[in-house]
Amino acid sequence: MAAEERFDLVVIGAGPGGYVAAIRAAQLGGKVALIEKRDTMGGTCLNVGCIPSKALLESSEHYEHAREGLGAHGVKVSGVKLDLKTLLARKDKVVDELTRGVAGLMKKNKITVFHGTARLASPTAVEVTPPKGGDPQTVQGAHILIATGSDAIELPFAKFNGKTIVSSTEALSLPKVPKHMIIIGGGVIGLELGSVWRRLGAKVTVVEMLPKLLGPLDRQITTLAQRILAKQGMEFHLDTKVTAVDAKGAKVTVSVETRKGETLTLEGDVLLVAIGRRPYAEGLGAAEVGVQFDDARRIVVDSQFRTAVPTISAIGDIIAGPMLAHKASEEGIAVVEKLAGHISHITYEAIPWIVYTWPEIAWVGHGEEELKEQGRAYRSATYPFMANPRAKTMGETDGMVKILADAETDRLLGVLVIGPRASDVIAEAALAMEFGASAEDLALAVHAHPTLSEAVKEAALGIDGRTIHL
């Protein structure tokens, strides 16, 4: 590729934000280049995040169900054994198929892909250094989109070594089931990966600095989630901080202290540090060309996703907002449509969140504590899956649906679900909130019987005290 060839859009990062933006720009008639430092497409999500973790969660659910759940259905099994090598190979196969699928989409949409490390040479040029070294290649673009994502946060006193102290990446491919996995962080990643390895036979202990799991999520939901996960065998130390980590040989020792000053020493063979992710822009040279960052090292953008440099935009984990793959994808579509002169809008309050434990946890909008902080008057109602016929037939009755609606207008303010297939159940709530629907709208919609989504209708009816099946 000649250095002087120019593109309408140069995208840096082939994750769910970057590759989706590239496709949409190509659909709109643009000449598009995509730069990715990995050999494969899909970024963190497809390679070492969303997809491999869900593959492991699915496989571990099957294993645990075969050992402990099938008997209740009259299916007698014995001698169930774990083949970890095959389980991990299946995960890798899923990832390979999807990343190759994205590569195929690049060819289909005539997007030029450059593999290598990107550095901004100017507001309209990117230098790409090949992965195995060599002279950089300059890619010119009328507009540049930064979608470099994020990476795992490392504790200064617990550096990742890939064996006894691991990030979420290494936790996806442990060569054997730990005897005791200690997890620092009671957020989404910690609970999901903790669930995987607990089901496969590990003792799992979660240490969380906050007094509750899952950060700002509605306390009623997190309290129920903790109770269910504890019943499954996961141990929790909340309101507890880690004071020291000592890794020697095949063992790791974690010293912790509660808010009351009590101390405890935990010993395990794997420590998973899952305290969050940070925006990734190392070596990009963004600040050098005028791109501004905030105190959290996120790129500052306006409502059009433009940085302080008019020819450079940014989306996804590198800017403010939830670090979610689907949020990045929507921003990728929005930014290129805006560049093409189209009207595009994202309703951030209607973006769903999901935790793929079992039962799953999903929500859209606000929880009670957030509404109280905002001083908003609201009404709430809940409906348990214990009373849902489909959940009964599945033998999966843990959890509930919770709906929060404006006290005066009845407009939906939040829908929260903890229960079977909550990741699918939440979809209608996200759509309803996108349309500015009321709780009554959900209550009036005819829901097929028997389905899990009937619990949403019943909770919506409960806003006016009209719940039927309870």
**In angstroms, rounded to a whole number, what is the distance separating the alpha carbons of residues 34 and 8?**
11
Asked if residues 112 and 20 have their Cβ atoms less than 8 Å apart, the reply is no
Burial category of 169 from C-beta neighbours within 10 Å (exposed 0-12, middle 13-18, buried 19 and up): middle
Is residue 84 within 8 A of residue 176, CB to CB? The reply is yes
Report the distance separating Cα 199 and Cα 357, nearest Å: 11
Q: How far is 320 from 325, CA to CA, in rounded Å? A: 14
- Residue 101: CB partners within 8 Å, gap ≥ 6? none
Cross-strand partners of 253: 246, 267
Kindly provide the residue ranges of all beta strands, DSSP E only, lying in 353-456, ordered along the sequence. 353-355, 360-365, 378-384, 400-406, 412-419
* Spatial distance between the Cα atoms of 358 and 61, rounded to a whole number of angstroms: 8
Give the active site residue among 73, 342, 449, 469: 449
CB 466, CB 407: distance < 8 Å: no
* Alpha helices (runs of H) in 112-218, residue ranges in sequence order: 168-171, 188-199
469 flagged as catalytic? no
**In whole angstroms, what is the distance from residue 48 CA to residue 152 CA?**
11
Q: CB 19: neighbour CB atoms within 10 A?
A: 29
Which residues does 176 contact at the CB level (< 8 Å), separation at least 6? 84
Residues with a catalytic annotation lie at 449
